[in-house]
Each structure stands twice: as structure tokens, then as C-alpha cells.
Amino acid sequence: MVLVRVSEGMLEGEVVRSVLGREYCSFKGIPYAQPPIGDLRFKAPQPPQPWDGVRGAKEHGPICHQFDMMFNVIKQGSEDCLYINVYTPNLKPSSPLPVMVWIHGGGFMSGSGNDDFYGPDFLIEKDIIIVTFNYRLEVVGFLCLDTPDVPGNAGMKDQVAALRWVRNNIQEFGGNPDNVTIFGESAGGASVSYHLVSPMSKGLFKRAIVQSGTMNSCWALSLKPRERALALAHRLGYDGGNDHELYEFFKKMPIESLVAARDPITMNEALSKDGILYFSVVDEKEFENNDRFFYGDVYERMREGIHENVQVMIGYTADEGVFNLAFMHKDDIDNTLNRFLESFVPQIVQLNCKISDQLQVGRSMKNYYFGTNKVDKDNAEKMIDYYSMNLFIFDIIQWVNSHTKRNENKPYLYKFACLSERNVMSTILSPSKFASIERPVVAHADDLPYLFDIKLANLPLDQHSKSFSMIQNVTTLWTNFAKFGNPTPDDSLGVKWIPYTLEQKDYLEIGEKLIGNKSPNKEDFSYWESILAQYVPHLLS
């Protein structure tokens, strides 16, 4: 029996053994907010209620009811899903342990903090406390009516509530509330970058690791959120315009009707292959007594800089765009890519430029990647490069450049290039089904199996293998940063990771070997920057 008293009452966890043989204490399914049901649907999370006696913490709480976009299925869950999990190697250490809080990805529409995907076994070996949690997803997490009842960003406010819970309780698990690192991937990475500027998050963490997603990614901010809400309401049978009636309509709608809610509001969205997310973070309007998670223009907030004295590590996988290519069909190539120049227009240009400019940009982009050739099976790999820049890499490097101009704490930039049997996403996505890919790829989310024990994947673990050596390197870099603010504080990894500056543009390539390099994706980034400087100069910082 392992007991810990938190603010709301006593918890009983359990001692478990990691896949590497380390014993640690596990506490699962801890409520960090009241169930957001009934009148609390769409509202900011409320503090959890205390309980009497001892509450069991050996099982995960329910996941959020959701649509799994990877496997195109509904995953049964509950709206009562605001639960947090704490894994600690030592409840009473000689000095408080550093804490790493993971924010899961999944396009703001799927995922959870459960250990079937985010097992803490590798990271906990490094004497770090690991925290994971669920937050509300898709419509219940990100519906916005631009009204006091539904101002938006409920899912992000859930994340803030989880961080506040950590600040208030982590010392009871042996953790240091003054040494918290938040980290996340994809939508989780974008979430981390939002926390770096959100007034609600200030003071809740010391360091941040941003993986494969930033606030300036085109998919990370919802376009015209009220119009999206009206489009969804119309499909579900409501045609009125009264704010209170609309709120009541959504509040009474069964949760099953509020998942997989993909209702385009423009013709371009309906045809786009750019991976548009329909419900994500919004620019919140100000109402009386309403704490806003995020407001204003993304690029203005980037120019203003992040919270003072926070250290940042940030990066991306070598072939992020595999994700988009894998969801295409041969007909998409014939009927979209080879037919419409808009297929090669970055979303940032689509949203800010007239159609004549869009066509010029599309022609330039298509020529840059394909010359005069049509897209076909033999050259479709180039679409990986295009989507990588469009949806991830350009925005990440732009964010790094903006951050570096305005902060004394220079970021650590990486490109993730590990290749082994652990590259689960590359296997699942399998872009070679219609594109002739001559080389192995490192897809979006291929970094996760080197950080977490993904039980669902049932991956072999040979401690004498090259892949295990890469696990050791990756987890050491991540936990060194969490402990010291420096991923290579000594020479134990055989490399010195130099922070990024505008002059030198240093980054670390993380593969079978750790290699310092300069100017990541230099040619592509320079081309994209020249195009955007011509057509959307006000959005370049």
C-alpha cells in the first residue's frame, strides 16, 4: 500500500516495476477538476471536490469520448475525463525531484495521458517524476460561440488546471514545484508554445520542450470559430441565431454527436489536403470576470516574447509531412494536386492573399518541388517535403528565430532522425502504398517511442540494440534539460549541444549518432521565407 495525501484527500497508489526493472510508485486516475458535465460543459474547469477516506489510484480515469483520426474510429469514453497520473521513483527523496508534465497530441481531437501509449518507464529511470493527464477534446474542449457562456479554449484551461494541480500537490510525491518542465508533441507541442505566452500559465513551469507543433502552425488556431459552431449546429438541426438558444442546443446535444465534427466553412477547406483542424485554440473575446487563455494575434504575441526566464528546447522530425501524404489517395493526385495550383499554396497565404497572388505562389511552389513534371507515384515523395514545411518545419524555425531575437535564454533546436524498428508511425502511415519512397523516413510522432514505453505497439526491447542506445540518448537529453536547463551539461553523450543563435543557427541532429550542425533545412526555409516575405511580409517577425 502506497499512500499520499493531496489537497482533496488521501490516495492509494501502487509500486510497479518498469520494463527495465526499476521500481516506482504509480498513482493513476486522480481528479484534477470537477467532471465538466451538465451545466459545466464548455465551461472553464472547476476545482475538484474533496473526498472522504482513501481513494484508489491504481486505474486510469475514463478517456475523453473521441474520434481517433489515425484509425478512423470512435473511441468510447466519457465527458467525465479530467484525470491526472503521477509516476515517481521516490516519494521521499533526499532533495525534491524535477518534474516533467506531458501534454499529449492528437490534433486536439484524440488521445489521452494513459500509459498504454505514454508509459513512463524510460524517463523514470533518470530520477524524474512524470505526470500525464487528459484534457477535453474537439467540440467539448474547443467550441467557441464568442459569448460569455462559451468563450472557447476550455481544453486549454483544463491544461492550466492540471498544471496548477501539479504546483499545489507534486511535493507530496517527492517533486519540486519550482522545477517543472512541460513538454508535448504535435497538438501537445502547440499547446506548450501557447502556455509560453498565456497569462493563465505564467509561473506554472520553469522549462518547456516543444515537439513538432507551434502556436503559429496554421492548424493550431481555429479560423472563424463561431462560423464553425454555426455550421455544426446547422448539420445537427439548429437553424436559429439566438446566442442563448444556441448554447442550450449544444449543451443538450449527446456527446456522440459532438465527435468527428468536420464541417468545412469554405469550399477550399472542403477540398484541402492540408490537415485542417476544425476545433482548436481561439482568440478569446473579453467578457466580465472571464480569464482568457489566449487572445490577440498569434504573430503579435510571438513578437512580444515568452514568459520571462523560461528555457526552451524545440524541434521536429526529419519527415513530418509523411503524415499528410499517407492519408492521400491516387485520385487526390490526379484530381487535386495536378489540377489546382491552390494545392501548393501554404495555408498562411490562402488566408491572407487574393486569388491572383495565390495562383502565383502555387505556380512557384509547384515549380520549386516538381519543375514542369506532374505529380505521380515516382516523384510524390516531394510532397513530404512540401507538407513538412507547410505544416511544421517552417513555422518551428520561424518561431525559433522570433524567440531568439527577443530572449536572453537561447533555445535548443533539434532535428529528430532516429531510424529503427521503433519508428511506429512510419510503419502505420506507410506512404509507399502509392508513392515510390526510396529511403526510410522519420515521420511525425516517430520520436515518441524513444521517450515512452508504448504498450499498444508491443515493441521489442533489446538492451544491447542500437534502438535502445537511441532511447538512452533521447531520454538523457530530455531529462538533462529538465534537470539543468542544458541537455548536455557534461561530455557523457560525446557532444555539446550549442544553443541556437541567429548568427550561427546551431542545432542537434538526433539519430543513431548525435551530431551538431548549422542552418537546418536551409535551402527550403530560405525559399519559403522569400515567398512569404513577398506576399505576407507582415506575418514574418
Q: What DSSP line would sit under 414-454, residue for residue? A: EEE---STT-HHHHHH-GGGTS---S---BTTTTGGGTSB-
Contact 195, 281 (CB under 8 A): no
**By C-alpha distance, which of 91, 78, 88, 95 is closest to 31?**
78
DSSP assignment, residue 257? G
Please name the helix (run of DSSP H) or strand (run of DSSP E) that holds residue 196, with its range, or none.
Answer: none
DSSP character at residue 499: P
Nearest alpha-carbon partner for 100 in 496, 511, 480, 505: 480
Listed in sequence order, the residues at least 6 apart from 296 whose beta carbon sits closer than 8 Å to its beta carbon are 283
Q: Cα separation of 174 and 131, whole Å?
A: 12
**From 112, 284, 444, 467, active-site residue:** 444
Q: State whether the Cα torsion 347-349-355-356 is positive or negative.
A: negative
CA distance 75 to 52: 32
Burial class of residue 408, CB neighbours in 10 A (0-12, 13-18, 19+)? exposed
Catalytic residue flag (residue 464)? no
Question: Is the Cβ–Cβ distance between 136 and 154 less than 8 Å?
Answer: yes
Spatial separation of the C-alpha atoms in residues 345 and 350, rounded to whole Å: 6
| Given 186, 217, 388, 426, the catalytic residue | 186
Cα–Cα dist 179/175, whole Å: 8
Any catalytic annotation for residue 320? yes
| Cβ neighbours of residue 292 closer than 8 Å, sequence gap 6 or more | 151, 153, 199, 200, 284, 286
Containing 133, the helix (H) or strand (E) segment is strand 129-133
Q: Which residue reads 477547406 in cell numbers?
A: 269
**Active-site residue, selected from the candidate residues 320, 402, 426, 509:** 320
| 112 part of the active site | no
Q: Which amino acid is at 363?
A: R
How far out from the chain centre does Cα 380 lie? 27
| Cα–Cα dist 482/484, whole Å | 6
Catalytic site positions: 186, 320, 444
